Structure formats: structure tokens, C-alpha cells
Amino acid sequence: AASHIGIIGMGVMGKSLALNFAEKGVPVSVYNRFVEGKEEYVASQFAEENTEFPLLKGFDDLEGFLSSLQSPKKILLMIPAGAAVDQQIAQLESSLQEGDILIDGGNSFYEDSNRRVKALEEKGLHFVAMGVSGGEEGARRGPSLMPSGSREAFDILAPYLQKIAAKDAHANPCVEYIGPAGSGHFIKMVHNSIEYAEMQALAEIYQLMKYGLKLTYPEISKVLKNWANEGLRSYLLEITADILLVRDGREYLLDMVLDKAGQKGTGSWSLTTALNFQVPYSPLSEAVTARMLSSNKSNRVELAEYYGHRFGAFAEDKVILIEKLKNAYALTRFINHEVGFDLMKTVSEKEGWNLNLSEIARIWTNGCIIRSTMMEQLVGIFKDNTSIFTTKSLKSKIKEMKLDLTYIVGLGLQHSHALPVMSAAANYFLSRITTDSPANLIQAQRDYFGAHTYQRKDDPSGAFFHSDWKASVPHPS
Ligand code: 6PG
């Protein structure tokens, strides 16, 4: 019998999704290119290794793969983002017929996806740009899926995607049509920049607890587990609590891991997108910057020696500080999410995508890397609000946590702890809630040196003025 779905690309994600489909009763064909000496018989071997999944068929030749698929063909690309996707599309195009569906499940840049959706629609083919989150385990057991592009194609795919997706707390699948064009890849990119900031915030908490509070790894792990039980549960918090307990002989494995963070693109793309749309993004952007700073280890070692850098320990009561850290961390997380959702809101308005923020939060409550109890709260919050900061039920808690965030950032900086995300979060929040910003001075400076003009507080018409600042400086008498 013909397969209902075809998957191209047998990396960990492609393989895991294939097994997930087969397990859920969907006949699936898989194909991997044949590269002599490097990638040989990958797909057929994979099928042979998994004979307990009779619905799985492996092909090392593209023609065999294509003719094994039911019409309209539904082909999921799980290959590296970038040129490889365009090459694969070009190779497939001539063998496809009107109405066939190509799905890109990689971490593609959404502007590429915008272009591909349009180009293929013009040729009568459907293109679905789909964010996939959850890593290997998620792909195998239930990922969060963010499909966009052809609505018609989504309707055909929905029953299949719903079968393999994670389920939310109400047993609804963590998949929904996101919007037109590459909006699914766009929100996956934002998801990843929130992921970066959530990871960096935990790294900062770990640093403060290790060097500032002098806690052992099991002690830190215990505090994090307590936080999870006190409303701060998240997948990333839980894996961090696990990581802190893993030993490598007499040492902790974490202490053996080189402190140079890698990144593959999605985090940085969010920043350029935020800049393009003029959306303030500092807390999330700092998480990307922190990875870049970390990767220049040899220079850090030199400068640390040169300046005699040492983390200072805190003299304050540990129990009180841990409570403040918890609030500082919780508010940082709210701010990180506010920033990411604000970018989605703005881009949705400008592109006319009509993104449903509450629904996006819902499909991120399970399966994906940033799933958390906070995300569950956001489902309700974005039903009635467009901003976390104006959510009435959070107001008094945010006010209280703000005191602890600013306290912890101040304390940390005074003790030589770099806190890029937490301090940027504090700055972002304070900047958002300040009536009289010092931007009057920026405007005056612009007008002084460049006659860029400025508006006046005492002129509600919004007219622009220019002053001859230089000539108006009073001369000393
Ligand atoms: C996910 C992850 C996954 C991956 C990203 C980030 O949602 O499952 O976001 O897609 O972790 O590619 O990877 P880097 O940290 O290497 O940029």
C-alpha cells in the first residue's frame, strides 16, 4: 500500500518523526540522499533496523521513494536550513504534480520560507513552512508543531500532524495552523530566542548560587526543584536541576564542560528581525551576545588575569537571598516572554498575519523546549490582554518581584557577576514603565549637531521645532 507521508532527511529529527508517524498508524516512507563513502543506504538501513514498525519503508533512491507515496504527495523535508532546502525543492519540483504538498520542518529563516511558499504556490504546489520543537525526544514522542503557508495543505495534513503532536493539558494536540507564508518558521525563530534567554537566565542564577551564595551543585539542584514545585516549573529548569547532579567519576560532569556556547542561527535571526521591525529586544538579544562573549574563551582568560577578576561572595542571609533570586528569576522570565510575544504581535500586525498569541502559547505548553507552567498561564493571559505588563492579575506580583530583580542585579554587578539577561530585563522593564525618560536630551543633542528637530511637551499639535542651541548658550558673565 502507498505511504501517506514521505520524509526526506534521516538526521535525528527526521528519524524520530518517522518512527512517531509509524507508531501512530501512519504509513511512512523515508529517503536519504546517497553520498558515496559518507551517507550510504541510510534510509534503507534505518528501516531494516526498525522492523518492529511495519508501516515504515526506507528508500535510497528518490524515484522509488516518490512512487511509494499516495497522491497528493505529502513530503516532509527534515534537512539543514539554507541552500540545501532550495536544492532539494529544485530536485523534487519536476516530479511533483499540482496539489502535492512540500513541508519544511527545519529551522529555516522565515523570509526564505515566505519566498518558497510564494514561488511554489505560483507553480500549483503547496508549501508548508513548519516549526518543529522538542528536540529528539519531542520528535519521537510528541513535538510542538507550527505549520504555516498553504491553508488548504494544512487541512489535508492536520489529521496526520495531530496524531504525532504532543498533547496539551486538555488533551488537545500541540499543533494549529499558524498563519500565511513563513509565519510558522517566524514563530519558531521567536521560540528559540525565548529559549536562549531562558537558558541564559538559568545560567546566571546558577552562577549567582555557585559563586555568590557558595551553594553546592546538589544544593542548587534542590533549590531549583523547590522552585518548580512553587509555580516556576519549566522543562529547562528541570533539565538544569538534573544536569547539576550528573557526575563524571569524582567530578561533576558540568565542571568538565568547556564554557563556550554554540549557536546555529535562529537566535541571531530574531535580533535582526526585531531590529528590522523596530521592536525593543534587549533581554533576548543579550542572551545571543552572552553566547558570543563566552565563545572567546582565550581572550576572557587573558583579561580575567589582567583585571584580576573574581566573583564576589554575598554576605546576606542565604534563605532571604534565595527567595529574592526566585522572584528575580520569575520576573526575568515574564519579561523575556513579553519581549518575544511583543515581536510576534508587531510582525503579525505589519505582515497582516493575524497571529493568535493565546493559541501560540497553547501549542507551546507541551512538546517544545520552552514549555512551562508560565506558558500555561500565558494561554489565558493572551486571550484577554496584548501584554503581560497590563495583565491585572499579575500587577501586584510584578511590582513585588521588581524590587527583588533590581536588588539582585545590583548585588550581582557589585560583586562582579555579569548578568546580561537579568540586567537587560530589569532595564527593559524600568524603561517601559518610566514616564519621563531622558530621551529629551537625546532629541536636544540630535537637534544641536544635526538640526534633526524635536517635538515639544507644551505643543500638543506634535509640530517639529529646531533651535539654534549653540547660539542660545548663555555666555558666562
Ligand atoms: C527546539 C530547539 C531546537 C534547537 C535550536 C537551537 O525547539 O527543539 O530550539 O530547534 O535547540 O536549533 O539550537 P542552537 O542552540 O544550536 O542555536
Bridge partner residues of 234 (DSSP):
372
Ligand 1 centroid to 354 CA: how many Å? 26
Task: Kindly give the confidence (pLDDT) of every residue in the chain, 477 residues in length, as a single tens digit, with 9 standing for 90 and above.
Answer: 899 999 999 999 999 999 999 999 999 999 999 999 999 999 999 999 999 999 999 999 999 999 999 999 999 999 999 999 999 999 999 999 999 999 999 999 999 999 999 999 999 999 999 999 999 999 999 999 999 999 999 999 999 999 999 999 999 999 999 999 999 999 999 999 999 999 999 999 999 999 999 999 999 999 999 999 999 999 999 999 999 999 999 999 999 999 999 998 888 999 999 999 999 999 999 999 999 999 999 999 999 999 999 999 999 999 999 999 999 999 999 999 999 999 999 999 999 999 999 999 999 999 999 999 999 999 999 999 999 999 999 999 999 999 999 999 999 999 999 999 999 999 999 999 999 999 999 999 999 999 999 999 999 999 999 999 999 999 887
Residues with CB under 6 A from ligand 1: 107, 133-135, 192, 195, 262-264, 266-267, 368-369
**Set of cell numbers at residue 350:** 505589519
* Mutation probe of ligand 1 site: the residue of 145, 365, 369 with most atoms within 8 A of C-beta: 369
- 144 and 364 Cβ atoms separated by less than 8 Å: yes
Ligand 1 centroid to 151 CA: how many Å? 26
The H or E element that residue 390 is part of is: none
The atom of ligand 1 lying closest to the CA of 143 is 8
**Set of cell numbers at residue 376:** 500555561
Of 323, 353, 364, 294, nearest in space to 132 by CA? 364
| CATH code that applies to domain 5-181 | 3.40.50.720
Residues of the chain with CATH 1.10.1040.10: 188-432
Q: In sequence order, what DSSP letters do the residues of 297-339 get, joined into one string?
A: HHHHHHHHHHHT--PPPP-S-HHHHHHHHHHHHHHHHHHHHHH
Supply the DSSP symbol for 174: S
- Provide the annotated active-site residues: 188, 195
Return the residue whose CA atom lies nearest to atom 9 of ligand 1.
192
Residue with cell 532539494: 88
Ligand 1 centroid to 442 CA: how many Å? 38
Ligand 1 centroid to 192 CA: how many Å? 6
The H or E element that residue 127 is part of is: strand 126-133
Return the residue whose CA atom lies nearest to atom 15 of ligand 1.
263
**Set of cell numbers at residue 305:** 588575569
CATH 1.20.5.320 corresponds to the domain 439-472: yes
* Reported pTM: 0.96
Residues of the chain with CATH 3.40.50.720: 5-181
Residues of the chain with CATH 1.20.5.320: 439-472
Q: In sequence order, what DSSP letters do the residues of 8-75 get, joined into one string?
A: E--SHHHHHHHHHHHHTT--EEEE---BTTTB-SHHHHHHHHTTT-TTEEEESSHHHHHHTBPSSPEE
CATH 3.40.50.2300 corresponds to the domain 188-432: no
Burial class of residue 30, CB neighbours in 10 A (0-12, 13-18, 19+)? buried
Of 124, 113, 89, nearest in space to 9 by CA? 89
Contacts for 279 with CB less than 8 Å, ≥ 6 apart: 342, 343, 346, 347
Query: What is the CA 228 to chain-centroid distance, rounded?
Result: 21
